[in-house]
Structures are given as structure tokens and as C-alpha cells.
Amino acid sequence: MAIVMERPQRPLYALALRVAAVAAFGTMFMIIKYAGESGVSVPEIMFWRQAACLPVIVLWMALTRQLHEFGTKRIGNHAARAMVGMTSMAMTFTATVLLPLAESTVLSFACPLFAVVLAAFFFKDKVGPWRWSAVLLGFAGVVIVAQPGGEPVSSLGVALMLTGALMVAVINYLIRDLSKTESSVTIVFWFSLFGTLLMAPLMPFYMTGHTLFGWLTVIALGVTGAIGQLLMTASLRHGSVASVIVVDYTQLIWATGYGWLVWDKLPTQALWLGAPLIIAAGAIIAFREQVLARKRRQEVSIQQVND
């Protein structure tokens, strides 16, 4: 049985890592959308996202003398994280191709809303009026961005991105649990390895030929994904989910910039109306999580003194 120990928290360092991770992922999603619209199938994108990631991770582990980190006693946990992660990846990548980049990014921000719901119904966390109000506010923003009856967006894309956001909420907790005993590179390595093995059997049916630029594109999405994955996992190693997840909203800056530069498309009025509601909801949830965590630490300290 693995010995689970809490690691010391470094909140500012965790925030810096998360900001860098968001920049890497923002670039990766731009490349994914471009590749998908250029004719590369989602299964092939998923394969290269993982396969091109592996050499980067192994090289990093070699340069930092962490090759011993390949070892793990929690292979089942890594496999479960990979299954959930690859399913979420299929949904979010497909939605990214179907939706405008800014819209798909904003809908992915529903993750903290689902995290609260999961905490209430599955982890039996006591959720008060502040967080429930934030959930309602956030889902109101989701409805506005989805634009029912307004300017058409892909209904399938919206459904897939929201389901993917739900699964990302689960993944954050799985990574947080793994981080108690595993290093960042260990978690990313096993996710990439399992992901590559899961997608490899599909390649004879989905892989297509590429030009030199096409190969550079699929390799770039793997490299940016590897960098983002390492940074994101490290952020959860040094800070709590609630304290770092609010930084994910900066991805809208990257999505808006890339949407304008690559597709000459700016966000719609509905997005500008709905996005602040979703972001405000996430900020409220993150703030309340911090308050509650501080309160729990104080209660534990008082209990220890009384004992």
C-alpha cells in the first residue's frame, strides 16, 4: 500500500506554473483546431498529442536526472486517470474543431461549476448558498454563450465541450490524489504512454499522409501539450485545485488572440455577455474554497492544541 503524505504548498509558485500551462494549452488548442479544419481526424490528433509528448517527457527526465521516476506503485490509478483523460480529450478536441475558438474556451470554463456539483453529491461536501449561487450564475452564462435561438453554434460541439468540462473536474481530483505520492513527470509520462497505447490501434484506420508543414503541425501540438501537461500537473502538486483553477480563465485571452490572428474572427456579443458570468462564478467558487480550506486548517490546529 502506498504511503500518502501531503506535500508543502507553494501557492504563488503554483499560480505561476498554471499561467504558463494555460499559455501552452491555449497554443495547443489553436493548433488542434487548425489541424482538424485541415483534414486531420480527431483520433490522429489524439494519437500525436500523446505520442509526440513522450519523447519530450523522457528527454526532460533524462536532463533533470529523474529517470528513476518511471517507477510507480499506483499503475491502476494511472490507468484510470488515462481512461478518463482520453475520453475527455476526445470530447474537447472534437468540440474545439466544431466551435469557434473563443466559444469553446469559455464553455470549458464550466469545469469549476461541475467540481462543486461533484463535491456536493459524490464527495458529500457541504455546499453553502455562496457556491450554489455561483453554480447557477455560471450556468446562466453557459446558456447565453450557447445562444439557444440566437446566432447558430454547433449544438453537438456545446454538448461535447460541457461533458468534457465535467470530466476535467474529475481529472483535477484524480491528479490531485496522484500528486500526493507521484511526481509531475511520473503522472504525465504514464498518461502519455497509456494514451498512446490506447490510440495506436486506431491509426491504420485514421492516419493520413502529411506534408512537411503538416508533420510540423501534429508534432507541435504534442510538444505544446507536453509542456502544458507538465506545468499543469506541477501546479496541482504545489497548490490546491481551488487556488489554481481560477487562472485557467486567462486562456480566453489566448483564444481571442488566436481567433483574430488565425481566423480573423472576434467573439460574438453573446460571448461577451456570458463569459463574465462564467468567470465570476468560477472566481467566487475559488474564493469560497480558499476560505473554507483556511477555516478547516484553523479547526485542525485548535483540535491539535486541545489534544
Domain-embedded: residue 4: no
In a domain, 155, yes or no: yes
Q: Is the pLDDT of residue 307 over 90?
A: no
Among residues 66, 78, 25, 52, which one has the least CA distance to residue 191? Answer: 78
Q: Which residues of 176-194 are buried (b: 16+ CB within 10 A; e: fewer)?
A: eebbebbbbbbbbbbbbbb
* Coil vs helix vs strand at 65: coil
Each residue's pLDDT tens digit, 164-216: 999 988 888 888 888 888 887 888 889 999 999 999 999 999 998 889 999 99
Residue 183 located in a structural domain? yes
- The whole-angstrom distance between residue 252's C-alpha and the CA centroid of its chain comes to 14
* pLDDT band at residue 71 under the 50/70/90 scheme: confident
The structure's pTM equals: 0.81
Mind listing the pLDDT tens digit for each residue in 249-287?
888 889 999 999 999 888 888 888 888 888 888 888 877
Among 11, 5, 21, 97, residue whose Cα is nearest residue 294? 11
pLDDT, position 240: 66
Residue 258 lies in a domain: yes
Question: Using N-to-C axis directions, what is the helix angle for 111-121 and 155-178, rounded to 10°?
Answer: 60
Please indicate, yes or no, if residue 100 is contained in any of the structural domains. Answer: yes
Specify the pLDDT at position 31. Answer: 95
More confident call, 9 vs 163: 163
Residue 2 belongs to a domain:
no
Whether 188 is covered by a domain: the verdict is yes
Q: At 176, which amino acid appears?
A: R
Range of the domain at 225: 11-306
Residue 8: what pLDDT? 58
Q: Is 6 within a domain?
A: no
Number of domains composing the chain: 1
